[in-house]
């Protein structure tokens, strides 16, 4: 070989030639990789750990999920969640669009190291066979607890596949034994929680439950189940403080929204409800509990109720202890609603008659303001209060509830004390109480807080 103007040996030239050939063969693949992943690196010791820690989005498909609606994707979900939850930066666990993921009863415990988002773009479905829950907690399907700064969103669906549960319910067939059924989505002891832009379908029993939670916002939800489905409350709030529910559509076989013991600072606005059992406070005082059960500082402002068995309702059992206080139902339109406005301190959801009791949960400082529409029952306003603990501080302003069948509507009052302002139809039957001044101060201060 001739000297080409350099002092390279034949061995050196051969090595250079080999490198040129390798570069020509490999460079297209490097260019392709760089186009889609500019941070791609050659393998080196510890690279897998580094990549996992730097990753922010975890698709369940990357951890073995099939997404075909038939194979069990629970383990894949839990694997993705465990890794995402362990990272100190905000992360997302994703159920991708266009897939259906079968998820078995699942317990997701916190806390996570940082903010985490569960993004449901596709559909999550429950097992159809109730026997899957044998030996497990039959009250829960997807159970999140001990979480802080959790967001659940994405525009996807969560389907409880509750048809078999409904068929076995004693509410559907009185000859069936009464057994518990799962709540589709339960949040327990969660703080700074955001649930939004989801469709909940056909839960086995309740659709969404917030228990012992604080600082919750639930918005832009669709909660859907047939009118005949038993105990399928849309959103259930228990022992929680600082809960806001807004801009949602709820059509179920039970209460659209139920608020029960030891809940406070609840704000509900712009809700479409029906069919179902309306918006309910209670049941309080069941089983003559020695513990006080209280619900206070609840404001429903803006709702459309149609074809519901009740409108806005407070219900308590005889024999209980506690109170329901500082509750306002305002700016509500009703269409073909039975029992549009009702307080019932003699509530009895039992196969057997309930015995009369002397003690009762107190009901006080309850306001009904700007409520209009049509009643499916003649008795559009019903206040059935306790002899030993009458309802005090009831306030009605600008009420007009006419019959959807023609004719007149009426009011019923028993041990109910309060006052009215503006047009109230049907005419009130309230006894004027002695706490009108105290009540007016509370109403004025409540309006001032809401205007801030």
- The secondary structure of 358-379, three-state, reads CCECEEEEEEEEEEEEEECCCE
pLDDT tens for 372-382 read 999 999 999 99
d(CA 390, CA 125): 47
Whether pLDDT at 291 is above 90? no
The string over 262-288, giving b where at least 16 C-beta atoms fall within 10 Å of a residue's C-beta and e elsewhere, is: bbbebbbbebbbbbbbbbbbbbbbbee
Region at 59 (left for phi over 0; alpha for psi -120 to 50; beta for the rest): beta
pLDDT band at 349 (very low <50, low <70, confident <90, very high): confident
The residues that are catalytic are 277
Instruction: From residue 346, give the alpha-carbon distance in Å to each of 312, 339, 379.
Output: 16, 15, 17
Instruction: From residue 452, give the alpha-carbon distance in Å to each of 175, 200, 326.
Output: 54, 33, 18
d(CA 101, CA 124): 5
Nearest of 338, 329, 317 to residue 365 by alpha carbon: 329
Region at 104 (left for phi over 0; alpha for psi -120 to 50; beta for the rest): beta
The Cα diameter of the chain in Å comes to 119
d(CA 362, CA 385): 9
pLDDT band at 353 (very low <50, low <70, confident <90, very high): confident
Q: Is 133 exposed, middle or buried (0-12, 13-18, 19+ CB in 10 A)?
A: buried
Whether pLDDT at 404 is above 60? yes
CB atoms inside a 10 Å sphere around CB 384: 17
* Integer Rg of the chain from CA: 29
pLDDT band at 1 (very low <50, low <70, confident <90, very high): very low
Q: Is 448 exposed, middle or buried (0-12, 13-18, 19+ CB in 10 A)?
A: exposed
Instruction: From residue 334, give the alpha-carbon distance in Å to each of 234, 275, 302, 340.
Output: 18, 12, 11, 7
The two structure tokens encoding residue 264 = 């406070």
3-class DSSP assignment, residue 383: strand
Judge contact between 361 and 293, C-beta under 8 A. Answer: yes
pLDDT tens for 224-275 read 999 999 999 999 999 999 999 999 999 999 999 999 999 999 999 999 999 9
d(CA 224, CA 232): 9
> Could you tell me which residues come within 8 angstroms of residue 353 by beta carbon, excluding any fewer than 6 positions away?
none
The two structure tokens encoding residue 236 = 């259930």
pLDDT tens for 184-199 read 999 999 999 999 999 9
pLDDT band at 284 (very low <50, low <70, confident <90, very high): confident
d(CA 79, CA 65): 10
DSSP states of 314-365: EEE-BT--EEEEEEEEEEEEEEEESSSEEEETT---SSSPPPP-S-B-EEEE
Cis omega (within 30 of 0) for bond into 85? no
Residues 207, 211, 215, CA angle at the centre, nearest 5°?
Answer: 105
User: Average of pLDDT values for 26-44?
Assistant: 34
What is the reported pLDDT for 352?
72
d(CA 268, CA 452): 16
What is the reported pLDDT for 181?
98
Residues 18, 24, 27, CA angle at the centre, nearest 5°?
Answer: 125
What is the reported pLDDT for 274?
97
Domains and CATH numbers, the chain: 48-254 (2.160.20.10), 263-349+356-452 (2.160.20.10)
What is the reported pLDDT for 317?
82
Nearest of 97, 86, 106 to residue 59 by alpha carbon: 97
pLDDT band at 432 (very low <50, low <70, confident <90, very high): confident
Whether pLDDT at 20 is above 70? no
What is the reported pLDDT for 441?
44
């Amino acid at each position: 070989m001739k000297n080409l103007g350099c002092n390279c040996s034949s061995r050196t030239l051969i090595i250079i030639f080999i490198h040129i050939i390798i570069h020509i063969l490999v460079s297209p693949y490097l260019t392709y990789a760089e186009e889609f992943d500019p941070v791609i690196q050659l393998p080196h010791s510890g690279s897998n750990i580094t990549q996992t820690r730097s990753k922010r989005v975890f698709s369940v498909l990357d951890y073995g999920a099939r997404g075909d609606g038939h194979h069990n994707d629970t383990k894949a979900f839990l694997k993705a969640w465990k890794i995402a939850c362990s990272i100190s930066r905000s992360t997302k666990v994703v159920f991708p669009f266009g897939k259906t993921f079968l998820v078995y009863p699942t317990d997701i415990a916190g806390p996570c190291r940082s903010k985490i988002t569960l993004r449901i773009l596709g559909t999550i479905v429950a097992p159809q066979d109730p026997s899957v829950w044998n030996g497990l907690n039959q009250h829960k399907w997807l159970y999140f607890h001990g979480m802080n700064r959790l967001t659940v969103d994405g525009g996807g669906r969560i389907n409880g596949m509750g048809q078999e549960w409904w068929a076995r319910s004693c509410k559907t067939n009185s000859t069936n034994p009464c057994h518990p059924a799962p709540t589709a989505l339960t949040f327990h002891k969660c703080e700074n929680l955001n649930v939004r832009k989801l469709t909940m379908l056909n839960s086995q029993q309740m659709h969404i439950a917030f228990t012992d939670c604080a600082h919750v916002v639930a918005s832009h939800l669709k909660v859907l189940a047939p009118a005949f489905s038993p105990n399928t409350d849309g959103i259930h709030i228990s022992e929680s403080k600082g809960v806001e529910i807004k801009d949602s559509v709820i059509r179920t076989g039970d209460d659209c929204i139920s608020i029960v013991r030891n809940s406070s600072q609840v704000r509900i606005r712009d809700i479409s409800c029906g069919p179902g059992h309306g918006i309910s406070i209670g049941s309080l005082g069941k089983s003559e509990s020695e513990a006080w059960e209280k619900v206070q500082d609840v404001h429903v402002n803006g709702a459309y109720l149609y074809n519901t068995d009740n409108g806005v309702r407070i219900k308590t059992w005889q024999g209980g202890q506690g109170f329901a206080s500082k509750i306002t139902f305002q700016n509500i339109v009703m269409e073909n609603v039975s029992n549009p406005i009702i307080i019932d301190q003699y509530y009895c959801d039992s196969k057997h008659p309930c015995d009369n009791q002397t003690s009762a949960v107190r009901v006080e400082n309850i306001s009904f303001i700007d409520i209009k529409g049509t009643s499916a029952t003649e008795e559009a306003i019903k206040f059935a209060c306790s002899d030993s603990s009458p309802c005090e501080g009831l306030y009605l302003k600008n009420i007009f509830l006419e019959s959807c069948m023609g004719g007149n509507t009426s009011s019923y009052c028993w041990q109910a004390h309060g006052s009215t302002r503006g047009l109230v139809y049907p005419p009130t039957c309230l006894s004027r109480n002695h706490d009108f001044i105290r009540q007016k101060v509370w109403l004025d201060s409540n309006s001032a807080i809401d205007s801030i």
